[in-house]
Structure formats: C-alpha cells, structure tokens
C-alpha cells in the first residue's frame, strides 16, 4: 500500500519552514484558498503562513504572501492577536521588520491581547536595529509610539530595562521615551532594571537627556535675547 501524500496545508507549512519560495508559489497557485492557512494544531496558535515566515525571517516568502493579498484588508492575527510584524520584531529579523513596517506603518502600533506592540517585543528581546526601524516608520512619531503601554502599564522602556538591554535603552530615551512613566504597580523602568549595571546605565542616560534639554533651553533663551536686541536696534535706526 502507498502512503497518502501530506495534505496541501501541511505541505505549504513545510515549504514555508524550509524557505522554499518557488514551492510556496506552486502550492498557492493550485490552492489559493490556503493563502492564510492558520495552524490549528495545539502548539500552532493559529499562526498564518505569514506569521510563520516572519518568525523565521524568510523575507522572500513574506513578500510573496503579501503580494498575493495575505494582509488585505487588514493584518492577519493569531490566537493571541499578534501580527506577523510582532513575531518578526521579537525574533530580531531586521529585513522582515523593515519590509512589513514600511508597507503598513499603522501595524506598528497594533497591540496584542496583553497590550504589547512590535516596539515592545523588539525592546524586550534586545533588538536595537529592529526598534530603530519601527520608531522610524511609526505613525505620529517615535515619542507618541513610545507612550503606548501594555495591560499592566509597562512601556517599551520598562521591557528594555527589565532585560538589561542597554543599547535599546539609549535608543528609546533618545527617541523621547518617558523615564518617569510608572506602570499599574507604580514602578518606573529604572525600578525594573535587570542588573545594577542596567540601573546605573539608565540613570546616566536619563541625566544625560536632562542635561541636553537644559542646554537646549539655555541656547533658545540666548537666541531669543539676541533677536530682541537686533529688533530694538532696528527700531532705533
């Protein structure tokens, strides 16, 4: 007896996992109804084809799926309401993050069932380049994106601090993250520092940001005084 061939849905997932864009195209040409192909196995979280490809960093397959309409009219969500962008950000797949963020900037601000967004996922896992890309494309600007918090009130800065991700801390503060922001437990990001080193580093960064703000204000005041003098001089002529 001959063994039954695997179902097309299983063959598609295998093609995505093995990073075989040509096979993915061929299967979807024959079975266009499998474009999303959510994985309903016990450990699958209903991840779609794009979720799987993004989590593995398979850019070519991500592009094929998006071109075929995978994200139309809105991004696909798994059982945890996560987007493919969130999974790519958590895994640190820079090229996939750049592709998805540039294509659909509002997706950057989407939050899952825990209230986490792609920037928080990148911050939690220490992927500094990923965070920079997301902040660049975030609608409304970086500071507004960093004001988002999860269901416990934790911001991206809390997540970066809790895991001691020093490079990400610097990026977030430079982009306008509020170091004094408290979560529902009344804890700041500094209080969540994973190590003494991270706590000292964060304190130093906050102090540096404050010094720069004061310097900018002093410079603005001096500039204002110069303009007033010039105006008075013109009026006296």
What percent of the chain clears pLDDT 90, i.e. is strictly above it?
77
Mean pLDDT throughout 71-79? 97
Q: What is the pLDDT of residue 226?
A: 43
183 within some domain: no
Is 35 exposed, middle or buried (CB count within 10 Å of its CB: 0-12, 13-18, 19+)?
Answer: middle
Q: What is the pLDDT of residue 191?
A: 87
143 within some domain: no
154 within some domain: no
Question: Alpha carbon of 9 to those of 24, 29, 126, 195: distances in Å?
Answer: 11, 13, 34, 46
136 within some domain: no
- Confidence at 197, pLDDT banded by 50, 70, 90: confident
- Look up the domain containing 25 and give its range: 1-79
Q: Which residues have C-beta within 8 Å of that of residue 19, sequence separation ≥ 6?
A: 56, 58, 60, 61
Which of 163-177, 195-209, 219-233 is predicted least confidently? 219-233
Closest CA to 117 of 140, 149, 95: 149
167 within some domain: no
Measure the CA dihedral 98/151/112/141, to 10°. -30
193 within some domain: no
Cβ pair 13, 35 in contact under 8 A: no
Residue 58: CATH number of its domain: 1.25.40
- Confidence at 228, pLDDT banded by 50, 70, 90: very low
Token pair for 173:
């503060």
35 within some domain: yes
Average pLDDT of the residues of the chain: 90
pLDDT tens column, 34-55 = 999 999 999 999 999 999 999 9
- Confidence at 233, pLDDT banded by 50, 70, 90: very low
* CA end-to-end span of the chain: 106
Q: What is the pLDDT of residue 207?
A: 85
Q: What is the pLDDT of residue 206?
A: 82
Question: Alpha carbon of 183 to those of 35, 82, 136, 152: distances in Å?
Answer: 40, 22, 25, 6
Q: Which residues have C-beta within 8 Å of that of residue 100, sequence separation ≥ 6?
A: 54, 62, 66, 84, 85, 88, 107
24 within some domain: yes
Domain count along the chain: 1
- Confidence at 106, pLDDT banded by 50, 70, 90: very high
């Amino acid at each position: 007896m001959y063994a039954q061939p695997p179902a097309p849905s299983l063959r598609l997932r295998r093609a995505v996992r093995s990073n075989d864009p040509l096979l993915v195209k061929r299967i979807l040409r024959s079975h266009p109804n499998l474009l999303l192909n959510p994985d309903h196995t016990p450990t699958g979280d209903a991840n779609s084809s794009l979720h799987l490809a993004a989590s593995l960093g398979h850019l070519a397959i991500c592009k094929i799926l998006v071109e075929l309409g995978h994200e139309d009219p809105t991004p696909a969500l798994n059982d945890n309401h996560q987007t493919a962008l969130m999974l790519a950000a958590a895994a640190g797949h820079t090229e996939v993050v750049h592709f998805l963020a540039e294509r659909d900037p509002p997706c950057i601000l989407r939050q899952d069932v825990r209230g986490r967004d792609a920037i928080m996922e990148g911050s939690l896992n220490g992927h500094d380049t990923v965070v920079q890309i997301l902040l660049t494309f975030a609608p409304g600007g970086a500071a507004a994106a960093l004001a988002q918090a999860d269901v416990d009130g934790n911001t991206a800065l809390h997540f970066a601090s809790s895991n001691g991700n020093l490079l990400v801390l610097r990026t977030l503060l430079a982009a306008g993250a509020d170091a004094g922001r408290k979560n529902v437990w009344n804890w700041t990001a500094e209080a969540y520092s994973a190590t003494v080193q991270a706590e000292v580093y964060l304190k130093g960064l906050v102090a540096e940001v404050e010094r720069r703000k004061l310097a900018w204000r002093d410079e603005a005041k001096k500039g204002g005084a110069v303009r007033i003098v010039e105006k008075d001089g013109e009026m006296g002529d």
